[in-house]
Amino acid sequence: MSTLLWVILVLIALVIILFIYYYNKFVNLGNRIDNSLAQIDVQLRKRADLVPNLIETVKGYAKHEKSIITEVTNARKALLAAPTIEGKMKAGNQLQSALKSIFAIAENYPQLKANENFLHLQQELSAIEDKVAYSRQFYNDNILDFNNGTKTFPGNVFASIFGQKERQYLQIPEEARVVPKVSF
């Protein structure tokens, strides 16, 4: 009789431990995802902060490239106004492609191309592009870990108990894959 009692007690303890383990695991993985999302946001914001400075520099040499300048300004505004991370990512990609056109245009303005401030901004913006890509990659790595956790056994049982569903990867929007067209 007492042996049976012990067996039951041990089993209950085991189940409690498993519950605690999986609860903490999902909380930790979820926090990592949120944290990496915040990192993407930081990088997008840094990019937006550099834009006014760039516009000023470009205006000094290429005043009549109005359409491209407005495009950049609008994309920046959309980025800052976007409420969700998906919206921010999309606006961020638009901004990135608009910036690419600016740097393409700069080829026509030797003085602008030689401007030290412009060169510095160009370098910084391309570094930020890398960092956006890297933080997006880390975000997707964390999603992968999380999703693996919710799908593999016995994690899937606990995931359904705690109501943890599979999460979406960040997609790279179509715009980002298209090379920006520049007309001269």
Partner 1 sequence: MQDRISFHDQIKRNKIKSVLLIFIIFAVLIALSYVIGMIYSGYFFFILIIGIIFSLSYTLISYYSSDKIALASVRAKPADYNQYRQLHNIVEGLCLASGMPKPKVYIMPGEQINAFATGRNPQNSVICVTEGALKKLTKQELEGVIGHELSHIANYDIRFMTLTAVMVGMIAIVSELFLRSLWFKGNDDNKKSGAILLLIGILLAILAPIVVQLVQFAISRKREYYADASAVKFTRSPTGLIQALKKIKRDSEKLKVSGAVAPLFISSPFKRLSNLTSTHPPLDERIRILERM
The answer to whether 37 and 85 have CB atoms below 8 angstroms apart is: yes
Query: Which of the ranges 19-27, 34-42, 57-65, 88-96 carries the binding residues for partner 1, by CB under 8 A?
Result: 34-42
Which listed residue (8, 14, 127, 157) binds partner 1 by CB under 8 A?
A: 127
Q: Where are the alpha helices (DSSP H) in the chain?
A: 2-61, 66-81, 85-105, 110-114, 116-151, 155-161, 174-177
Q: Please report the DSSP string for 58-95 in residue order.
A: HHHH-TT-HHHHHHHHHHHHHHHH--SHHHHHHHHHHH
| Residue 92 or 149 with smaller CB distance to partner 1 | 149
Stretch that binds partner 1, among 12-20, 50-58, 128-136, 165-173 (CB under 8 A): 128-136
Which span sits near partner 1 by CB under 8 A: 35-43, 47-55, 64-72, 172-180?
Answer: 35-43
Shorter beta-carbon distance to partner 1: residue 60 or 155: 155
Q: How far are the Cα atoms of 16, 21, 29, 88, 136 from residue 146, in angstroms, in the given order?
A: 22, 14, 6, 23, 15
Question: Does 145 contact partner 1 by CB under 8 A?
Answer: yes
Residue from 111, 123, 160, 168 binding partner 1 (CB under 8 A): 123
The correct pick among 22, 25, 26, 36 for binding partner 1 (CB under 8 A) is 36
